[in-house]
Structure 1
Amino acid sequence: MQHRLKALAALCAAAAGAAQAQTEDMAGVVVVTANRNEHASINVPAAIDVIGADRIRDGQMRVNASEALVAVPGLVVQNRQNYAQDLQISSRGFGARSAFGVRGVRLIADGIPATMPDGQGQAATFNLDRAQRIEVLRGPFSALYGNHAGGVVQLFTEDGKAPSSVETAVMGGSDGTRKVDISAQGRQDGFGYVLDASRFDTDGYREHSAARRDQTYAKLSFEPSTQSKLTVVASGLRQKDTQDPLGVQWATWLRDPRAGEIDASDTASPKRTFAERYNTRKSIDHQQIGATYDQHFGENRLRVMAYGGNREVIQYQSFSRAFQAPPTHSGGVVDFDRDFHGAAISWLDVRRFASGVLRTTVGVDFDHSSDDRSGYENFVGATFGVRGALRRDEKDVVSNTDPYVQTEWQSGAWQLSAGLRHSRVKVEVNDHFLGNGNDSGNLTFVRSTPVVGVLYKAAPSLNLYASAARGFETPTLNELFYSGTGAGFNFGLRPARSKHLELGAKMQLDERTRMDVAVFEVRTRDELVVDVSSGGRTSYRNASKTLRQGVEVSADSDLGGGFSARLALTALRAVYDQAFGAVQEGSRLPGVPRGTAFGELAWKEQNGRFGAALEAVANTRVYVEDSNSEKAAPGYGVLNLRANASQRSRGWFFREFIRLNNLLDKTYVGSVIVGDSSKRYYEAAPGRTWQAGITAQYSF
């Protein structure tokens, strides 16, 4: 770690020397995620990147957040080619173990949580068609958002604006992929609206991976006065019988990356896969609505937020204990109906203090979810993949109440920041199915997470910063549901506790080139690791200490002549710092690559009518389980090419794009299922694929 700090110091010194000729403070993209109020990103003592609307929308089908987030250092976003399990998102190694959904990283959309109070979230609920920007915060300051450790991904959608317009987009691509989107937006007399609806279909790259996703979205904004604003956002996500291809063993992947794993125990159909035999699939029906209200009193501000919704999920998994008696598990069918709601209030106070400006935010967050959860056998007689006998019936309630305070003092070249959040997360289980014992009980996790940071403007074009925090991760409901291979609710899990340190530099190397560098270290106790994973069901346990040390570098440059470049590099050493069981000290954390890289060379015609870009994405190998003894998923590097065009004619605006992914047709493992007890760790990425689309917009 010392040699990395020395390298950072040398780089900062070189930038400081070049900065002497600069006479003006550099402009930066405005962000709000770290300090909860507007700042140029260069003036924030934290690693934070912003993905703008052009990168999210241009040359993309806007189906998966991975399309845009691949350009962020420190973040690994893997498309599993499995819409039943959502994306795999990890930040600085946190979240890589998640069997489905996103954990360890907090998701927020338009100020409203997309992460449940237990720490589990779904990126599929993000509406990328109307996205304005995505802010990605890593490191210590994410501790001020509560129960997670890795970072915060916050989506902001566009507001309605004049003139009013309607828009439709039609897109398609390889493997029967197609999408239709229609939207309308406008603004008049202080009232703005954005409406959007889309349908996405795919036959899937992998066997048994077809999916249909319907999304709806509405955003209404009101400005009762010049000092106030009310925003109401409603969204819906529906996926019916989304097929789950599952993972495969290494030999199967080598034989055919598209293939599923053959179920050797299926004597009736010897060539049938687990996914086919059990018809593994998931249905999701998710709706929510939320509102935020801002009232300004001069520089001070009051913000109030409230939200609520419902999520219904039915999932058919690929395991069964058909001949086990008495029943000691929840069966192969998961069925839950979740109601959730929450509220938040905060006050921003701005005043002059000791020859500087003091900004203090005080607030409290409250979140609550209640699940009516059932489990069933996934067979009736000799037929699998159907709902059978009841094996689980319970009510699960999770709630949190988190007061916090965050303050920042700025004077001259110095900016000092500090914050404290007190989290109280309560889990309650009321078991109604007593044939396998009574799992009723409750858990309460309480933790205070402080953070401090300092930023020094060493030169007009160079800012240096340091920050530190304590963080924690409680087990999610999905991690608490099972103990080992067959027992019930796991009340013995403890939250993971972490200490974060970060040093960074943000610099303008010249008027066209911006570079950010961050060096970090995270030490964690009671790390949550996979105990047993099989057929879609995963149980967890607490392990020993872990250590994460890394460097992140991002650079953007305007090369002239319409050319621009983007570079994002990550080097991460994530290891067990203490042996446990059969895992030796120094073993790599599974699911976490040692290095990732993204590079892009883009060109845009002077009038913006034509553009093209070449992208390069590379990951090092990834271990699949804690002992590192199984075959690691090999590293890979792929090239992607995109081109776009646009035309205007009176009130019409047309945009077209074409994209070729994996240009050289590489065969590689795109993501892994950590710790699968059947060694079905590997999920294949597609070979060369194409996408194309056209958008037509009419403004009134």
Structure 2
Amino acid sequence: MQKAVFFMITFTLMVHGGAVLASDDVHTLEDITVLGEGTVSPEQQIQRIDIADTGAAVAATLPDVLGKTSGIDVQKRSVLTPKSSQVRIRGFDERRSLIMLDGRPLNGTGVMGGQFVDWSSISLQHWESVDVGKGAFSAKYGNTLGGIINLVPAKLSREPAATAAAGYQRYDTWSLDAAASGRTDSLGGRFSAGYLETDGHLRNSEAERVALSGEITGFWGDDGEITAGIRYTDGDYGMPVANQAGTPGLDPRYPESIGSYLIGPGIRFPTGDTHGDNSTYTKKRTELDLGVQKQLAGVDAEVKLYFNTEDRTDTITSYDQGVVVLERDATPDRSWGWVARCEKAVAAHRLGAGIDGNYQGYGGTENTYVRSGYFPVPPTDGGDEWDGTRWHGAYVDDQWALADRLDLYVGLRYEDYYGDRTVDQVSGYSGGRPAGYEPVEARFDEEVLLPKLGMVYRPADGLSLFGRFARATRFPDNPAFYWYYGGYRPEVDPDSDVVRSDLTYEDALQYEAGATFTGLPGLRVSLSGYTYRVDDYIRWIFGYSPSRVVYNIDQVEFTGVELDMEGRIWNGLSAFFNFTWQDTRKTGDVLDASNALSDSLSELPDYKFNAGIQYRRDDGLLATAAVRWVDDRQVPFIDSNSSSSPDGAPVGSRVTLMDLDAYAVVALSVRCPLWKGRTRGFLTAGVDNLFDERYEEEYGFPAMGQTFFISAGFEI
């Protein structure tokens, strides 16, 4: 309730006083990040998705917006329930892809729950569109295998603007949003506020979130800009509770599902017990940004500084006893960094260079309440690691119009990664359990050079042939770096004959080729195929004592084909279709029990497609109908603890492959203008999962059923 009152006060102030900046013509520095829109770039093809055009529901998150994109796999649990590995680009999730806010990295430490990107904390109201780039073919971006996802803000309008909207959808989900922006010759700004609450569709999946953002931009000279921004979210999230037939306490109001307490460090409950109803956590996250753009001697220059921090409070209840057994405070992410880029056009060349740094750390955990006599081994506090890892990069590149019909891209990137900490590692085993521990200095210091090459050849008007090559690396993330030393060590276990190699980075060679056709008015067709060979792929498998094992395997190969088609049919009527085939093969994995059943990475469908039609009118009417089809999948399932194990299963466990059925989901939406003029009103309504398809994106968590939504708002 306090969050709702706080939001309403902010909402009132914004609506009455937000859009007060006058409108004068100023010069804005051109965006120096080269993003191909409608043309084929030899560097990396970027697909820009307009968030407002996707017809997303009231409580939409960024994964909802990305779900109809070729090569993208999305897994959700409930309306606003956080989870790790929620978005994959060509099979690579957030730990292996670079997620950015206006060109600066967002990825966090991934500790205490594995959420390298917490999609539930990203409010869409501050952002106009999202760019998706598949593969690591650009030298501008480092420490990524999957590619990039970049949220893009709207340019400040030349006239004051304000919006407000309120909406409702199934599962008692409510939202309120407001935003205002404007600018003068020397000053501009934008502000937004949003409130969202939902009961969710799973047991104990309620969520409530307040999101605030503000940005001030100062202009100087003809092309200088300096921008300072802040984004703040305060969210309460329920931890889905197991709700399975044949178990005590089944709640028939919710679908059957397995549970997840979402966060870490892990909790060792007494035998037979787990977390129960009213288990929640509160997360407060702040993101600060400072950016400068200026053209100097014909060089477009840009510098960005950023800082992320989040604090979390956990409240854990017992399923069997229904009482609070643990309360604790944690700081899962305290990261910061900087990015500096410049570009200059010289004859037929577009020359670029840049440097960047990223520094990740986190605080410890403090158990503020532990129920006396409940835990067989009471949980202990965890220490701070404010300087966990440091990563630096530098690049040079050139886009060269070699001939009228031939463009080349050449880039070279340098990367350096450093981590150093003290870890208590297992010194030996007895009967499969740790026999003792010893402190060890865990140190990782590596540097690499990464060449990039791309080409586009246009043999005829409207036809482009392209090919790209890149070497790409991904360094061990903070959890992998820690648990390689602090987790299971088969080399000191007398019952194991496995000896792990020293932990190293993932090293990939990526190839992509294809064609794009735009030879008919209003039609665009693109076909691409890719192969990524990743050596020393890092895997981690839970269930090994004392928690998990982290190790490099020989190789994983990712292969796929993507077809994208879009075109105008008549007047404002258009259609789109995309198809994806993908396959993975791993070799040299000796610690995964499911490897004898399948040599593929689990939970990735072989085939999927999206199709839809859209009708748009100049008065703002927008109607969309779309279908998403996903092929069946298989996931390792450990009989002993009745849970899925998408990352694999310990050797010796009773593991089987469980089927996730194929599904097709239809979504409809329409946005209708209510009145026109200086102030424009609109009404939006729609339905997701029109035919109430029963399916699972993640094993054990049934997806939301037929979900109607409606919202109303105005724009000035």
2:574 equivalent to 1:592? no
Counterpart in the other structure of 1:274: 274
Distance 1:588 1:509, change over 3 A: farther
Give yes or no for contact 1:80–1:683 (8 Å, CA) kept in 2. Answer: yes
Q: Separation in 1 of the partners of 2:242 and 2:624?
A: 33
Q: Separation in 1 of the partners of 2:480 and 2:329?
A: 14
Instruction: Report the alpha carbon displacement of residue 696 of structure 1 after superposing the two structures with TM.
Output: 1.8
Q: Separation in 2 of the partners of 1:360 and 1:125?
A: 37
Counterpart in the other structure of 2:15: none
Identity percentage of aligned residues: 17
Counterpart in the other structure of 1:178: 174
Residue identity matched to 1:64: T
Distance 1:334 1:131, change over 3 A: same
Q: Separation in 2 of the partners of 1:198 and 1:621?
A: 37
Counterpart in the other structure of 2:532: 522
Q: Separation in 1 of the partners of 2:660 and 2:440?
A: 38
Counterpart in the other structure of 1:218: 214
Counterpart in the other structure of 1:80: 77
**Which of 351, 360, 375 in structure 2 is aligned with 1:369?**
360
Give yes or no for contact 1:126–1:155 (8 Å, CA) kept in 2. Answer: no
SS at match of 2:192: strand
Counterpart in the other structure of 2:265: none
1:582-629 Cα offsets, whole Å, 9 max, x none, are 41496221121111211111223x443533221101111222235893
Q: Separation in 2 of the partners of 1:317 and 1:504?
A: 51
**Which of 88, 97, 108 in structure 2 is aligned with 1:105?**
97
Instruction: Report the alpha carbon displacement of residue 143 of structure 1 after superposing the two structures with TM.
Output: 6.1
Counterpart in the other structure of 2:507: 497
Instruction: Report the alpha carbon displacement of residue 54 of structure 1 after superposing the two structures with TM.
Output: 3.0
Q: Separation in 2 of the partners of 1:589 and 1:510?
A: 40
Q: Separation in 2 of the partners of 1:499 and 1:246?
A: 42
1:355-407 Cα offsets, whole Å, 9 max, x none, are xx11221111011122222365995235579x964243242522111111111
Counterpart in the other structure of 2:584: 574
Give yes or no for contact 2:243–2:255 (8 Å, CA) kept in 1. Answer: no
Residue identity matched to 1:685: A
Counterpart in the other structure of 2:710: 692
SS at match of 1:572: strand
Give yes or no for contact 1:62–1:129 (8 Å, CA) kept in 2. Answer: no
Instruction: Report the alpha carbon displacement of residue 59 of structure 1 after superposing the two structures with TM.
Output: 4.8
SS at match of 1:664: coil
SS at match of 1:55: helix
Q: Separation in 2 of the partners of 1:208 and 1:687?
A: 17
**Which of 159, 164, 185 in structure 2 is aligned with 1:163?**
159
Give yes or no for contact 2:40–2:456 (8 Å, CA) kept in 1. Answer: yes
Deviates more, 1:172-181 or 1:214-223: 214-223
SS at match of 1:175: coil
Q: Separation in 2 of the partners of 1:301 and 1:440?
A: 44
Distance 1:181 1:79, change over 3 A: same
Instruction: Report the alpha carbon displacement of residue 38 of structure 1 after superposing the two structures with TM.
Output: 5.3
Q: Separation in 2 of the partners of 1:185 and 1:438?
A: 54
SS at match of 2:656: coil
Give yes or no for contact 1:196–1:216 (8 Å, CA) kept in 2. Answer: yes
Give yes or no for contact 2:344–2:350 (8 Å, CA) kept in 1. Answer: yes
Q: Separation in 1 of the partners of 2:555 and 2:353?
A: 33
Instruction: Report the alpha carbon displacement of residue 129 of structure 1 after superposing the two structures with TM.
Output: 1.3
SS at match of 2:283: strand
Give yes or no for contact 1:346–1:363 (8 Å, CA) kept in 2. Answer: yes
**Which of 194, 200, 212 in structure 1 is aligned with 2:196?**
200
Q: Separation in 2 of the partners of 1:662 and 1:482?
A: 40
Distance 1:482 1:496, change over 3 A: same
Distance 1:269 1:498, change over 3 A: closer
TM-score relative to the length of structure 2: 0.79
**Which of 608, 615, 618 in structure 1 is aligned with 2:626?**
615
Q: Which runs of 5+ in 2 are unaligned?
A: 1-29, 261-268, 320-325, 427-435, 490-499, 637-647, 650-654
Distance 1:303 1:561, change over 3 A: closer
Q: Separation in 1 of the partners of 2:270 and 2:556?
A: 45
Give yes or no for contact 1:168–1:183 (8 Å, CA) kept in 2. Answer: yes
Q: Separation in 1 of the partners of 2:471 and 2:515?
A: 22
Counterpart in the other structure of 1:629: 656
Q: Separation in 2 of the partners of 1:213 and 1:436?
A: 42
TM-score relative to the length of structure 1: 0.81
Counterpart in the other structure of 1:426: 418
Q: Which runs of 5+ in 1 are unaligned?
A: 1-31, 96-101, 321-330, 673-681
Q: Separation in 2 of the partners of 1:623 and 1:501?
A: 27
Q: Separation in 2 of the partners of 1:621 and 1:645?
A: 37
Instruction: Report the alpha carbon displacement of residue 120 of structure 1 after superposing the two structures with TM.
Output: 3.0
Give yes or no for contact 2:276–2:316 (8 Å, CA) kept in 1. Answer: no
* Number of corresponding residues: 626
Q: Separation in 2 of the partners of 1:529 and 1:275?
A: 27
Give yes or no for contact 1:524–1:546 (8 Å, CA) kept in 2. Answer: yes
1:36-56 Cα offsets, whole Å, 9 max, x none, are 335544231334211014325
Instruction: Report the alpha carbon displacement of residue 690 of structure 1 after superposing the two structures with TM.
Output: 1.3
Distance 1:269 1:487, change over 3 A: closer
Residue identity matched to 2:410: A
